Amino acid sequence: MQIQPKDYYEGDTFERIKQYSDKLETPCLVVDTATFARQLDELIACFPYAKTYYAIKANPAVELLKILDERGCNFDVASRYELDKVLSIGVTGDRVSYGNTIKKSKDIRYFHENGVDLFATDSEADLRNIAQAAPGARVFVRILTEGSQTADWPLSRKFGCQTDMALDLCVLARELGLIPYGISFHVGSQQRDIGAWDSAIAKVKWIFERLQEEHGIQLKMANLGGGFPANYLSRTNDLQTYAEEITRFLREDFDDNFPEIILEPGRSLVANAGVLVSEVVLISRKNRTGLHRWVYTDIGKFGGMIETMDEAIKYPVYVEKTGEVEEVVIAGPTCDSADILYENYKYELPLNLAMGDRMYWFSTGAYTTTYSAIEFNGFPPLKAYFI
């Protein structure tokens, strides 16, 4: 069963991307900005009550930031370098949140000086730093959530605190002269179980009530994070279904009195807009009776495909040749044995696939350019083109 472009790209999108890439050196990423814009518009239409804060790390290209800016979107920023990038296109600090819970005091100050007034936190030490470096700012507390079993790229454990601690931090924030503004969570990236939002939203509601009843603190915002799906080999529900369910969960807990709702999409907006084009460098067998051919290509873990770690994200791979297929191992071009993309999960590629043929990696617009190494083995970072 070979991958078909029409299952992943609308209309002639793939043909346009392919044609554009024909004259380019591989490896390269080509991103269709119209697809990005359409997916952004779809998200906004699905969640008309929410504010969008784009998670820049998914793909920080200025071409995309401008599309977000045109629609009045906001930006979830994790470092001063991302902030500089957003400011450079004329966005003001009041449309930015500092969403990283791990930050230096001097960076908090830098954000504050540039007009950023919304900070994530999940620890007392960080909260005290914020109070010092960004006096009077609004803070939201990130809580731990379950869902790491059903997210293909979990973001739990490292970030967030238990609900009891979230209460303590909100109370402390007020004591320190900050504004306890809301609660955030991230159910894990590429979260396939929509129910993960249900339990997380219930926790948020519980915290809202406790703070109101026991401390007279009225939180104003719930940040539902990212985690919305892209199309990889493991299929998911569509965004519409995510939106309907999440809206229902919010109604169950908040009736019609929704707090301000923030979303921080990354992957779901940009992954499907991209195609990464690589070339087969070498095809070999390891021994005379080896069952599987090894296909080495000029993109690997260090060229931007880090999310193939533990084969977590399975990108659809398309080649032009057709005919009888065979299970293969796919590996990258560098001198590191960790640079194997897929070995346990066997991709099926045509037997007549040959060195020099191109491979088209679908849904690679997110978390590829940003993960690409600078010069491992001298290979330059992944080049990206926006059409």
Give the x-and-dash track for 206-225 against ligand PLP (CB under 6 A): -------------------x
Q: Please say which residue, 21 or 268, places its beta carbon nearer to ligand PLP.
A: 268
CA distance 93 to 99: 13
Contacts 24+ apart (CB under 8 A), 33-38: 33/63, 33/64, 33/67, 33/273, 33/386, 33/387, 35/9, 35/10, 35/272, 35/273, 36/64, 36/67, 36/269, 36/270, 36/273, 36/365, 37/67, 38/10
Q: Please say which residue, 159 or 208, places its beta carbon nearer to ligand PLP.
A: 159
Q: Please say which residue, 120 or 340, places its beta carbon nearer to ligand PLP.
A: 120
Listed residue (164, 129, 159) closest to 144, CA to CA: 159
Alpha helices in 176-261 (DSSP H): 195-215, 239-254
Backbone conformation region of residue 224, classed left if phi is above 0, alpha if psi is from -120 to 50, else beta: alpha
Q: How far is the CB of 290 from ligand PLP (least distance, A)?
A: 38
**CA trace torsion 97, 99, 103, 109 (10° rounding):** 10
Residues in region 87-126 near ligand PLP by CB under 6 A: 99
Q: How far is the CB of 291 from ligand PLP (least distance, A)?
A: 36
* Residue that is written with structure tokens 């849904």 in the block: 363
Q: How far is the CB of 280 from ligand PLP (least distance, A)?
A: 30
**Should residue 154 be labelled a site residue for ligand PLP when binding is judged by CB under 6 A?**
no
Among the listed ranges 82-90, 106-114, 226-234, 379-387, the one in contact with ligand PLP (CB under 6 A) is 226-234
**Should residue 266 be labelled a site residue for ligand PLP when binding is judged by CB under 6 A?**
yes
Q: Please say which residue, 224 or 277, places its beta carbon nearer to ligand PLP.
A: 224
Q: Please say which residue, 122 or 198, places its beta carbon nearer to ligand PLP.
A: 122
Residues 6 or more apart whose CB falls under 8 angstroms from that of 342 comprise 308, 311, 314, 329, 330
Closest chain position to ligand PLP (CB): 226
Q: Please say which residue, 2 or 247, places its beta carbon nearer to ligand PLP.
A: 247
Q: Please say which residue, 138 or 186, places its beta carbon nearer to ligand PLP.
A: 186
Among 197, 228, 360, 379, binds ligand PLP (CB under 6 A): 228
Listed residue (38, 92, 47) closest to 222, CA to CA: 47
Q: Please say which residue, 51 or 57, places its beta carbon nearer to ligand PLP.
A: 57
**Should residue 17 be labelled a site residue for ligand PLP when binding is judged by CB under 6 A?**
no
Among 51, 57, 205, 301, binds ligand PLP (CB under 6 A): 57
Is residue 129 within 8 Å of 108, Cβ to Cβ? Answer: yes
Residues in region 184-203 near ligand PLP by CB under 6 A: 186, 189
Q: How far is the CB of 78 from ligand PLP (least distance, A)?
A: 7
**Should residue 265 be labelled a site residue for ligand PLP when binding is judged by CB under 6 A?**
yes
Would you call 93 helix, strand, or coil by DSSP?
helix
CA distance 163 to 275: 40
Among the listed ranges 27-35, 128-136, 264-272, 302-310, the one in contact with ligand PLP (CB under 6 A) is 264-272
Residues 6 or more apart whose CB falls under 8 angstroms from that of 11 comprise none
**What does DSSP assign to residue 161?**
B
Residues lying near ligand PLP in the complex (CB under 6 A): 55, 57-58, 76, 99, 155, 186, 189, 225-228, 264-268
